Structure 1
């Protein structure tokens, strides 16, 4: 009976992963999930170690490395110390030293709200013994900071247990051997801005490990036709040594190669059209340029900016200003967190834009908007090989890295994006001439952030921007009386209690974004020249293999 009850309890905890954390019940379940998976993993690691080495834990850090992937699994630090102390008889100092040598922390965001924090009362009620361990780590941190001459103010700004909150990222940085970012720009921002105070204390602990993708799935499996052409041109072996793709560069001016590449791209677009017809019931022509943005729905990723750009094009067509615009399909795929109201409002807005432009006689043959349902990896494997333009338009400085940008690059799409995350390194590899970069840079945003007044400086002075933004509230669209569109409008023009107006600088970047998008679409009309840009992206994608990423982790962090 006991085992059966345990199984039932385990099923109840993990039945719905990542529950809505907008309620006390949801937050409690999420913490239980995190602890459940972490504790099971840590106990398994210790069991395996003891089976081989017995009770002597002096070699533990030489045998195991725990990579804490973002802040969600960082409770592993306290759990490992708890087991070492209460089950294996080690002192706190002995346990902490082992854990600090064993764990490494990968940061995946510069956004403060995404650096996980837990309410003390909730945490203590769910895992009280682990909370006691965290208090010990916090006391040890205070003593350490005091020993190196930190002031009371400096110490208080770094406490793991601060007021009514437990800061998991602070524990991860202090109790790990290394902290790494996932793109060079992201790591630089961590070191010199977001985690600057920690970097000044532990400069040797910070490293960069630019993300990567597996070419076996994201080219070999999802585009076998292109894979076959690549193998024909440079031989086998590139699947496990992606740097060999550089050998494709010498074929960029070979007419037969580029024509065959164009034919393959056409085939993938035809396959996607058939898939969308089957799953969405929407007719789509492969003669259109395919402009695709697929990723998690978040305000900083700026799917709303993309939708605004489509409305700007719509208005220009209605005003007879774009008579020779390349017919373009704007394809979105995204999911929103259960409690993220604004993200759901953006999804609703994009679908309203789709209804308008897809059914207007003046635009339906030039613009098509599709928000695919239930976007997932299987859908991505159809979308990415068919893309002509990859939308990577996050606010500069907020995208840690991204991997979708790499997948699109590997499959021969140009990047339309900001100078952010791994986009920076994509441009470095493929060349400015083969990408379409727009928008305020990190340093420009930092310079205007304090005095930014989008309503006075942009909205009230720019009729083009105003016309587009007003579609949220002027009756152009219906949000079903939810008030979501009004909330989005206010977030841009008036701000909210927790942020300033236009917190993600959509109004700043809108005109430049549309102009850059139009440049890409007019370039697309010369298919041969545009396809050469796409080919150079494939040939320059070698750096972005996950094999390189894992090798760097293994050699530089795990010491394998």
Structure 2
């Protein structure tokens, strides 16, 4: 946008005066941020409105991205960068005697997601706008998100993440687009005597009101602004029911309270299902209303609307869309089904069976009775059609209604024209193993779309020292075309450029070291290897394998304090689901290992362990640029893709990885000599599954080194973990090591010894780091969404 520094300064002071009636010298950082954010939103609003009108005028096809999570992080710097005024605003504020970074720090992370799923959705929102593609996000406006994580006596404690305390400056409430969502009651079908159609009659339904809050998604210097719509809940007052008890109000407000209610209880699972239908129904209702304004035949809706189901959580979109088309728009079933399949597409993000959602039939029937009737009919027609073409057992295995449960992935696949995985290995596993039955039914629907990341945030915003080196070395074209980062490969043997990149890494390590000291009181040296594992805490991601490596090094140093090894700082960031007790035990053990090692003077500070609480996007922006080693150590075949692996390699970290998820594609990009691969591949893993001959106790009992390390969990070496240490030990021995941690132990140790040797050869290490950065551009989410647009959604750029 065209803006002078002087005009910005005037606008900012005027906004502060009007909003808070104070001078800049009297305002605190929150007031300054609120004023700045409010001003920037004004700068955005013209393009935001114009793009919406242009889409309507041109009858542009739009992709609506339905996701239970969005994890955008702080938006101030992103919006300023994309508007092209980040440096102007920074300089303008500094001339007014204000600290831009302190103002930016006052912004709260939006608590709308947890891990890679939500971050991917936000990267896609950024990339859709930045590539000029018309996209529209649809999710839930959580009041508290997942939770705010703190550690007390080493244990994870979950506190409310009250991110909306001072409001959300970026959102706009859209009261004129409120819709009602119907739950419960009884539904029966009545024949319309004039048309002969069956009309649903609702008795005693529970009506809840969905209120949309829209946030602008600003494209990178292209004047395009898309929309992220998040739904909140209200209690509609009617003549029949004007008064609700405090408890009733609280129960309703809880629907948009937290992300992922505890699914270990019936009430928690019920609340999750309500959430999923609430935002799905609200989103689809407004989509149909929007389409009808185009005055086109309803059966052509797929020509102007694409709805994407991001993982199984919004799978009810298939049945809800059918309900709207058949019940409210009067379409014949077969016509409505054709439109639904053409409109819907689905991304599978996991092969873990527990993540492929299933809901008890009785729960679905009671909560959303009309939708359940639609699902029954979809299932019945599916069985009728497929039974004439395929084996009965195959059809039975792929039904939506099986064993008293509604299988949400089945509904999404049957009701969509596209099902994609998120890395080549993952997509192959879906076709060959996890969803093989569906691949037999619909081979043409399966495809791969490897995940990507918004490189603007993970380089230009979070790593300004690196960005400056890139500008000086290859020019600035990479800022708008991420694949141009590959121009850096021309300098892979240039010692001067390597040194500049190393110095940028040093600055980032110092920033992280300062943060670690401020947060935990632990002093770490920037000369040490910063060894990073940041991701959701789950047994298949194998934080426990990292623990075994740490304890081996510690025992080696206790036996020989003069052992020559490069110092290491092990950095963890992860939240465990509140009801996932094993993961919470791992957190406790890591924290007690940290207490043990960080306070043992005999090892001469050669090892430090830091678990930073409340891992979120803002913390990732500090950790990722500082990492030397990227730990991607999930059991081969279990990680669908990963995106932290992409962020870390872009920022010059060397990846230690199994052949899992996108690690394989990173290896192909950087070359085998610039990544450290270890462990079993998926074929060996599946061989164990077939032969059922893995014996963890035999592995443990026949390996003295492993036995010595593993025994530290139960022999008192690590204080204060009597229960948790036993839990980890039992998971690996008594319950036969579900994720083959012990089988991969020695290969992992060898990989880490290779890292030690490489790090001591600075020239070699710096070259590897440069090559990783230079190849990071191919994992841009800009590229990924273009492939979705072309292959799945059928949308084209506006600009």
Question: TM-score normalised to the size of structure 1?
Answer: 0.96
Q: Match for 1:5 among 221, 235, 238?
A: 235
- The equivalent of 1:262 in structure 2 is 502
Q: Match for 2:589 among 341, 349, 353?
A: 349
- When Rg is computed on C-alpha atoms for both structures, the one with the higher figure is 2
Distance 1:45 1:271 in 2: 45
- The equivalent of 2:398 in structure 1 is 158
Q: Do the aligned residues in 2 keep the contact of 1:35 with 1:75 (CA within 8 Å)? A: yes
Distance 2:727 2:381 in 1: 45
State the Cα distance separating 1:361 from its structure 2 match: 2.0
Cα deviation digits, residues 72-114 of structure 1 (max 9, x gap): 1101111111111111112222221111000011000011111
Cα deviation digits, residues 24-48 of structure 1 (max 9, x gap): 1111111111111111111110110
Secondary structure in 1 aligned to 2:655? strand
Secondary structure in 1 aligned to 2:410? helix
Secondary structure in 2 aligned to 1:147? coil
Distance 1:181 1:479 in 2: 42
Q: Do the aligned residues in 1 keep the contact of 2:478 with 2:485 (CA within 8 Å)? A: yes
- The equivalent of 1:68 in structure 2 is 309
Cα deviation digits, residues 184-237 of structure 1 (max 9, x gap): 111011111111111122111110000000111010100111111112211222
Q: Do the aligned residues in 2 keep the contact of 1:316 with 1:322 (CA within 8 Å)? A: no
- The equivalent of 1:451 in structure 2 is 692
State the Cα distance separating 1:524 from its structure 2 match: 0.6
- The equivalent of 2:745 in structure 1 is 510
1:95 matched to 2:325? The reply is no
Secondary structure in 1 aligned to 2:447? strand
1:120 matched to 2:350? The reply is no
Distance 1:232 1:378 in 2: 27
Secondary structure in 2 aligned to 1:271? helix
Cα deviation digits, residues 274-298 of structure 1 (max 9, x gap): 1111122221111111000000000
More strand by share: 2
1:278 matched to 2:518? The reply is yes
- The equivalent of 1:498 in structure 2 is none
Distance 2:684 2:716 in 1: 35
1:301 matched to 2:536? The reply is no
Secondary structure in 1 aligned to 2:631? strand
Q: Match for 2:766 among 510, 531, 537?
A: 531
User: Which runs of structure 2 are paired with 1:411-560 in the superposition (5 Å)?
Assistant: 411-449=651-689, 450-478=691-719, 483-495=723-735, 501-560=736-795
Q: Match for 1:187 among 406, 423, 427?
A: 427
State the Cα distance separating 1:435 from its structure 2 match: 0.7
List gaps (5 residues or longer) in structure 1: 496-500
Cα gap change, 1:554 to 1:321, in 2 (>3 Å): same
1:202 matched to 2:420? The reply is no
Cα gap change, 1:117 to 1:322, in 2 (>3 Å): farther
Distance 1:165 1:132 in 2: 14
Distance 2:712 2:609 in 1: 17
State the Cα distance separating 1:19 from its structure 2 match: 1.2
Cα gap change, 1:543 to 1:2, in 2 (>3 Å): closer
Between stretches 358-367 and 391-400, larger displacement belongs to 358-367
State the Cα distance separating 1:488 from its structure 2 match: 2.4
Cα deviation digits, residues 440-492 of structure 1 (max 9, x gap): 000111122333333343111001111222222222335566x3332322221
Between stretches 550-559 and 353-362, larger displacement belongs to 353-362
List gaps (5 residues or longer) in structure 2: 1-206, 210-233, 238-248
1:34 matched to 2:276? The reply is yes
Q: Do the aligned residues in 1 keep the contact of 2:531 with 2:631 (CA within 8 Å)? A: yes
Distance 1:364 1:154 in 2: 62
Distance 1:292 1:299 in 2: 17
Distance 2:355 2:720 in 1: 28
State the Cα distance separating 1:509 from its structure 2 match: 0.5
* RMSD (Å) for aligned C-alpha atoms: 1.7
Between stretches 534-543 and 87-96, larger displacement belongs to 87-96
- The equivalent of 1:135 in structure 2 is 376
Q: Do the aligned residues in 1 keep the contact of 2:351 with 2:430 (CA within 8 Å)? A: yes
Distance 2:606 2:712 in 1: 20
Q: Do the aligned residues in 2 keep the contact of 1:240 with 1:547 (CA within 8 Å)? A: no
State the Cα distance separating 1:305 from its structure 2 match: 0.6
Distance 2:693 2:725 in 1: 23
> How many corresponding residue pairs?
552
Distance 1:315 1:57 in 2: 69
Distance 2:562 2:260 in 1: 45
Q: Do the aligned residues in 1 keep the contact of 2:688 with 2:694 (CA within 8 Å)? A: no
Distance 1:2 1:488 in 2: 44
1:253 matched to 2:493? The reply is yes
Q: Match for 1:173 among 413, 418, 443?
A: 413
Cα gap change, 1:382 to 1:26, in 2 (>3 Å): same
Secondary structure in 1 aligned to 2:451? coil
Q: Do the aligned residues in 2 keep the contact of 1:454 with 1:507 (CA within 8 Å)? A: no
Distance 2:343 2:379 in 1: 19
Structure 1 runs of 4+ off > 4 angstroms?
1-4, 7-10, 478-481
